[in-house]
A and B are shown apart, each in its own frame.
Chain A
Amino acid sequence: MSNIISIIQGLLVIVPALISVAFVTISERKVMASMQRRVGPNAVGYYGLLQAFADALKLLLKEYVAPTQANIILFFLGPVITLIFALLGYLVIPYAPGTFISDHRLGIFFMLAVSAIATYGILLAGWSANSKYAFLGSLRSTAQLISYELILSSVLLLVILLTGSLNVITIVESQKAVSLLLPLLPLFIVFFIGSIAETNRAPFDLAEAESELVSGFMTEHSASIFVFFFLAEYASIILICILNSILFFGGYLSIIVFSIISLLDLSREDTLFHVLISIISSSPINLAVKTSILVFVFIWVRASFPRIRFDQLMSVCWLVLLPITIAYVILLPCVVSGLLINPVNISLL
């Protein structure tokens, strides 16, 4: 019985994630079409909403071709690793207080470790395809990922300092008073740039620069294993948007409603209004709205900025973002302990 329940719980997380992956692809195409004054896909389904499913069906029905000299095992293992570890990150995400699959004590750490392993899928796929384009793409992608992971984890250090826990729900719940966006606004910008680079998105999509490398590390992959890569890419985009909204926007907490609650008489809990407010104040819809806005910003960034060169990418990481982050990592604990405002986490007392 408990096995069935945990399978249901897994499905309830994975299926919405995959559905939203499908619709993120459509929304990307539609939004970019609107920004570029085009119509975009509008043939399949109402307003082209089923375009992603048509594409996936087409890709699944295609014949897959593996290069002759490719290392077949690694060739197929790469996409699988990427997809599995992109989806494993959803394990620790809280949708509401008490609504999670895993309440791991080191949830944030788990997400970092999982995304570290997901890098291997790209590296393996690029190397095993025995193609220069794929290989160069995977090397670029890996160098980019391990450089920008440094920034992400340094920013995470400060979030952990301010919230006092690596548990994701504790991080969310400690933002009830004020979301961490306010004290860490410059770091949010750094983190957001880092997350765009971490997901290989434009303007940092050097790994699949069409003009230089045909399609990057997935040049040789076709049909269903290409779908794997595609799903993994967009799943990691949604995951990192969720991570952004958890770390800096308070996850499932409502931004506005809490100020209303403080004005209310909290002793009367029987009114329908109060129940409604308490549901709205921490519910999955807040997380979904914040995530969608961030996904929109991802698409917006892609439509707005031209692709930068690879040396620019690396120098932005190592010479601009990382010094800022490290300076903050030194400054903020000094400020916190100098002003004697050590953040105290109630759950740790």
Chain B
Amino acid sequence: MNNIFLLNDYITNGYRLEFVDFIYIISILFGIFTIISRNPIVSVLFLIGLFVNIAGLLILVGYDYIGLSYILVYVGAVSILFLFILMLINIRISELVSETNNDIPLAVITVLLFYFIIGQVIPSNLTDNTIVTSLSNSFSEVYNVQLDNEILNIIDLKQEIAYASSKSWDNSLIEFTHITGIGNIMYTNYSLWLIISSVILLVGMVGAIVITIKQK
């Protein structure tokens, strides 16, 4: 006679699905405001808010390095230069009266159609993991306190489970951090692409210098 206990995945440190939904809504709003703001500076500010939001999402789902470098690169360097240049340009709000509202229904319809089709195909809930612990009856007194958050019906559970996996101990001996993983891939398998992208960056830099240099 075994009991089945269900508990939420605590490894994700209090992460819940609802937080992700919240971030989605905020980032969609920020994206819309980025487009519809008259003032370009306010628009860039919403873009920065979007970047921070997405970085928060990445950190929340576990990609800390990507999220933090997102903040560092996009927010700390790229957008601040955007903002800097926009602030230096003398923009009068009255010059920016361009009618953009007529595109909004089209945008709304497009997005709704897209998500309708996508929603039919892609499952809504990919991340709803739970951990099931099976315990012997004699022992369950100890673990009942910590483990049973909610006890579900076993038959329903069987229907809902796609597959179950346990911890593999030998894989955990060496943990790849994200930096190690990215660096390992970038400097070995994708080294050619790294070189090509660095050449592109160099060309961009030289091009900017050539454009701004004074011809005598």
Contact = CB atoms under 8 A, between A and B. Distances in A.
B64 to A, nearest CB: 6
Contacts of A124: 45
Interface in A302-341: none
Contacts of A74: 45
A149 B77 CA distance: 10
B155 to A, nearest CB: 35
A142 interface: yes
Given A104-B64, A106-B68, A143 B84 contact: yes
A105 B179 CA distance: 11
A142 B75 contact: no
Contacts of B80: 116, 119-120, 123, 142, 146
A185 interface: no
Given A116-B72, A146-B76, A146-B77, 4 more contacts: A116-B77, A117-B52, A123-B87, A143-B84
A53 interface: no
A76 interface: no
B205 to A, nearest CB: 14
A116 B48 contact: no
Contacts of A109: 65, 68-69, 72
B87 A110 contact: no
A139 interface: yes
Contact of A139 (B45, B69, B75, B84): B84
A127 B52 contact: no
A113 interface: yes
A150 B71 CA distance: 15
The 7 closest A-B pairs by CB, nearest first: A116-B76, A113-B71, A113-B68, A113-B72, A109-B68, A116-B72, A127-B87
Interface in A97-154: 104-106, 109-110, 112-113, 116-117, 119-120, 123-124, 127, 135, 139, 142-143, 146, 149
B179 A166 contact: yes
Contacts of B69: 109, 113
A139 B84 CA distance: 7
A139 B179 CA distance: 34
Contacts of B179: 166
Interface of B: 41, 45, 48, 52, 64-65, 68-69, 71-72, 75-77, 80-81, 83-84, 87-88, 177, 179
A299 B69 CA distance: 33
Contacts of A104: 64
A207 to B, nearest CB: 14
Contacts of B81: 146
Contacts of B83: 123
Nearest to A143: B84
Contacts of A116: 71-72, 75-77, 80
B44 to A, nearest CB: 11
B87 A119 contact: no
- The CB with the most chain B CB atoms within 10 A, among A113, A135, A139, is that of A113
B75 A117 contact: yes
Contacts of A120: 48, 75, 80
10 contacts: A105-B64, A105-B177, A106-B64, A109-B65, A110-B68, A112-B72, A116-B75, A116-B76, A123-B80, A127-B87
A139 B86 CA distance: 11
Contacts of B77: 116, 146
B130 to A, nearest CB: 22
